[in-house]
Structures are given as structure tokens and as C-alpha cells.
Structure 1
Amino acid sequence: MKGRLQAVAVAGLGIGSLMFAWVGAAAAALVTLRKGMTEGAFVVFWALLPAIAVLSYGQDVGPLCMLLVSAVAAEVLRSSRSWPLALCAAVVGGLVSALILYHSAQDYLAGILATVQPMLDQLQTQSRGQLPQILTGDIAAVIGSSTVLWSGLALMLARWWQALLYNPGGFREEMWSLRLPAVVTVVLVAAMLLFSQAGEVYRFWGVMCLLPLIAAGLSLVHGLVGRLALGRVWLVVFYIALLLFGPLWAVLILAAIVDSWIDIRRRLPTAQ
């Protein structure tokens, strides 16, 4: 926020480091959130140089996709002031990224598949052939899902930075109140069902539609804990359970879907 040079340096170094690429994307998103599309585009343009270098020499398209999608999502959040729309923009960005890769970069996807094939063969042996054969469309889905996830996290980090600088406590209020409109939930669920029925190539693409539902579910949990003044220990227990029990993710998503229709937080009393 001190100037263009500092913003470009943080974004470029983060994108070029791979491990901290999402931090670099968050820096570009922060400029977009605070100063608008023109300033944000300037930072994104210069951050594209290390992103393209990583793609050319490191054969990793992730930082490039993450940078562009998080910047678009930041602009959507800035202009609409709507987290559901911003998260949906990240989903659309992930889907577009996967689609472009699948139709324009089959050699790239095939190279990744060849790299991980020995591990997949080992898993197939351990499962006695019960796992589905992995296709290049599945690799595109993984890249798209990763783009959605890390772009969403970068946007949240940028919004948290913005709140720390200009509106302390604002990020927590936004996250506690995040709730998907019913129409958005219907579109996301319908998209997942359509992808699941669109053939082998697109069988895992619906996973990209889960991010807004998961974010809304986590927001619901945090909002309930805060509203009822239960204390942070409940959140610690919840996240440990989420890591240990896989079916709890399905319950979280279902809770987000139900909340989009009945607004659970509004129906509960506030702790005195």
C-alpha cells in the first residue's frame, strides 16, 4: 500500500517463489480491492512476468492461473461487495482454466500424468484395480480445483490484510455472516450434477463448485460459535474432527445448502 514498486515486488517475488505464490496473488488482489482495477492490473501485469517464467522453465501453470483468477475475484468482490459472487467468480475462473488446458494443452496434461503414473499404478495395485483410470481430463480438473482453492484463499488473505489496515474486525464480521443465496446454491449443485453426468472427461470437474459451499459451511460454524459465545476450543475440536472424519465434510456442505434456504444463524438467539 506504500506504492507501486512495493506492491509489484511482493507480488512478483511471491509468484516466482512457487511456495508463496498465493501470497503474491494476495498482494495483487489487495491492490485491486483497495485501489481498483487500474492499479490492480498494473501489479498483475508485472507479476505475470515471473508467472510466465515459472510456466516456461518450471512447467507449472498454477501461479499464472492463481494470479489471474484471484485478481478477477478481487474485482468482483470490490464492485459487488458480495463474497458469494466473488467465490463464484473463482469457480468460473477455475473451470475456464481447466477447459483451456484440456483443449489447448494436452501435451502439458499428458506430461503431468506421465510423471504421477508410477504412483497411480502403485495405488491401483494396492486397491486391486478398483480405482478408476486417471485421464488427462482428471488432471485438468485437479489444476482447476487447485486454482479455485488457492485463489479463494489468496482473496481471503487480501481481504484480511485490508481489514487490518483500514477496518479492524471487518474481515471476521464478513466471514461470520457469509451465506450463499438460495439461487447460487441451486446453480452450484446443478453444475455438479451436470458435470457428473457429462462423461469420463468431466467426472471430477464438479469438485470446483464445492469451494463456495465449503466456505459457507465454515462460515456457518464460526458464526454459530461466535453468536453463542462458545469459545475457540469448540472451533479447535471441530477442525480436528473435520480432519479425522471424512464424512463430516458432507455434513458441512449439506449444512451450507440448508442454511442458504432457512438462514440458521438468524433463527438462533444471541448469547448474553
Structure 2
Amino acid sequence: MRALAEFIMKGRLQAVAVAGLGVGTLMFAWVGVAAAALVMLRKGLSEGAYVVFWALLPAIAVAAIGADVGPLTMLLGAAASAAVLRSTQQWAYAMLAAVGAGLLTALILMHMASDYLASILAMVQPMLERMQVSASGRLPEIGNGDIAAVIGVSTVLWSTLAVMLARWWQSILYNPGGFRQEMWQFRLPPAITVALVALMLLLSNVGGDYRFWGVMCMLPIVISGIALVHGAAGRLGLGRAWLIVFYVALLLLGPLWAGLILMAIVDSWIDIRRRLPNRSQP
């Protein structure tokens, strides 16, 4: 990964090559998006916009020919998030930008690309029917709004992960250990937490096509909760084994997600990590 990051930072041609080829191959779109985000984080908005512009060409081609808007929405969402992170140096605002990109993506698809959403729904309909047969109760009927929500959530998640990868690359090259410290210390300000929870509740209460859109608002809170666990483990000097146990439990125990979200909300008000003894190695 370090060698790839060094190659990206050699010049415009290398950055455009990695970003364009990555975005053009669906499996590695996240690598191409992260390459564009790295340039934006390190060299500024103008250089980053140059790479994003050229990466847009294969992204648009994939959307038009391959009927997959994922690389395009991920690229635009990550570009917005990286630009905000570059300007503010605050992960909270960068994640808000990603949420905004996800909501805007879902809204545009709902009102301007209903045929595209219907085609995706038609593709997954056989799987939904099999799930309905095997389910003990009746599953809710899936519509275009739900497909738009899935794409929006994917945009928020993958945009954020791509920017995190770019920030990690930047840390490896120019500030060793910086990304880890950022993540250990990351917590959402109370005002942002309240705004995200309020918007999530509003969208859930609206229901209908928007019933699952609130999940987009929860992703920054979930990431904040994961950062809290990592930060607490680091402050207490716990080994990686504890984090492995945490992730396994997160996969196996559904209710743990609710606890993680609740902890993140509480942490935004009282800063739990600051109250823990510092046993980390110097």
C-alpha cells in the first residue's frame, strides 16, 4: 500500500492513471477514489479537482454503459468529503459531507432515475420472493425508495472508507501514526449528533419511500462508536486481541450495534476516553 501511495504522489499522470483505472474497474473503484482523495488531501483542492475530473470520465462511462452509478456517486461523495476534511481538518464535518452526498444521491435517483431504480428492483425481485417464502412473517414490500436508500447508504459508507484510506496513506507518507491518533480521538460534537439523530427520526417518521433513509444519518455515529472502542482500547493499553473480540461480537450479536450507537451518542456529550486512565505505551 505504501508503494502505491508513493506512486500516486509522484505526479499528475500517475495519480490520474490510478484514479481512472481504479474507477473504471468496478472491483477496485474504491482504490481509484482513494487515490483522488489522497491528492486532494495532500496537494489541495485544485490539484484534487484535476484528478477527480479525469476520474469522472470512466465513472460516467460505467454509469452509462454498465448501468452502475456506484463508482460515480462514490467518487463525488469522497471528493466532497476530502475537500471538507482538507479545509476544516475535522472528521465530523467530512462525514457530514458524505451524508449529504448520500442523501442527495438518493433524492436525485428517486426523482430523476426511477427507471434505473425499477431495473435494479426487477433484478433483485426473485431473491426477495425467495426470502419472503422462507420468512416466518410477512416482509415489507420493497420499492424504488428503498433501492435509492441502499445506494445512498453505499455512497456514504464507501465515500467515507475511501477518504479514510486516503488519510491513512497520507499518514504513512508524511505523518506516521497521525491517522491512528485522529481515529482514537474522533468524536462527534453534540450539535452534530443531535442533528443526525433528529434527521434520522424525521425520515423514519415520514415513512413510505423514505423509511430507510435515516440509516445514512446513523453511519457517522456508528463510525464514532467504533473510534471510541479503538480509542478506549489504546488508552487502556489493551492489545489487538480485544479489538478482534469486539469485531467478532459485532458480527454475531445484533443488539451490540444499538449499544455502540448509544455509547457514541453519550460520548459526544461527556468524552468517555478523557475519563479513562491512560495506560498506553509512550
Q: The TM-score by the shorter chain falls in which range?
A: over 0.9
Which has the higher mean CA deviation after the structures are superposed, 190-199 or 132-141?
Answer: 190-199
State the partner residue of 1:27. 35
User: Which residue is equivalent to 1:132?
Assistant: 140
The structure 2 residue matched to 1:49, chosen from 31, 53, 57, is 57
Q: Tell me how far 1:129 sits from its aligned partner.
A: 5.2
Residue of structure 2 equivalent to 1:267? 275
Identity of aligned residues (%): 70
1:244-265 Cα offsets, whole Å, 9 max, x none, are 1111111111100000011001
Q: Residue 222 of structure 1 aligns with which residue?
A: 230
Counterpart-to-counterpart distance in 1, 2:160 and 2:80: 11
Hey, what's the Cα distance between the residues in 2 that align with 1:249 and 1:18?
29
Q: Specify the alignment match of 1:80 in structure 2.
A: 88
Amino acid at match of 1:248: L
Q: For 1:193 and 1:248, how far apart are their aligned partners in 2?
A: 20
- TM-superposed CA distance for 1:211, in Å, is 1.3
Aligned to 2:78: 70
The match for 1:187 is: 195
2: CA distance between counterparts of 1:210 and 1:122?
29
Mapping of residues 160-199 of structure 1, within 5 Å = 160-199=168-207
CA distance in 2 between partners of 1:199 and 1:79 (Å): 36
What is the CA deviation profile of residues 190-217 of structure 1, one whole-angstrom value per residue up to 9, with x for unaligned ones? 0110000112110000000111101110
Give the counterpart letter for 1:14 in structure 2. G
Query: Are 2:154 and 1:146 aligned?
Result: yes
- Aligned-pair distance for 1:128? 4.9
1:255 pairs with 2:263: yes
Shift of 1:53: 1.0
Aligned-partner Cα distance in 2 for 1:214–1:167: 26
Q: What whole-Å deviation, never above 9, does each CA across 1:118-162 have from its counterpart, x for those lacking one?
A: 110111111255110000000000000000000000000000000
Q: Output the aligned Cα RMSD.
A: 0.8
Question: Which residue of structure 2 aligns with residue 205 of structure 1?
Answer: 213
Distance 2:191 2:205 in 1: 21
1:241 to 249, 269, 272: 249
* Displaced runs of 4 or more, over 6 A: none
Query: Which whole-Å CA distance do the structure 2 matches of 1:129 and 1:216 have between them?
Result: 34
User: If the length of structure 1 is used for normalisation, what is the TM-score?
Assistant: 0.99
Number of paired residues? 272
Which ranges of structure 2 fall in alignment gaps of 5 or more residues?
1-8
Q: Name the aligned partner's letter for residue 124 of structure 1.
A: Q
TM-score, normalised to structure 2, is 0.95
Give deviations 1:29-72, integer Å, cap 9, x for gaps: 00100111111111011101110111111100000000011011
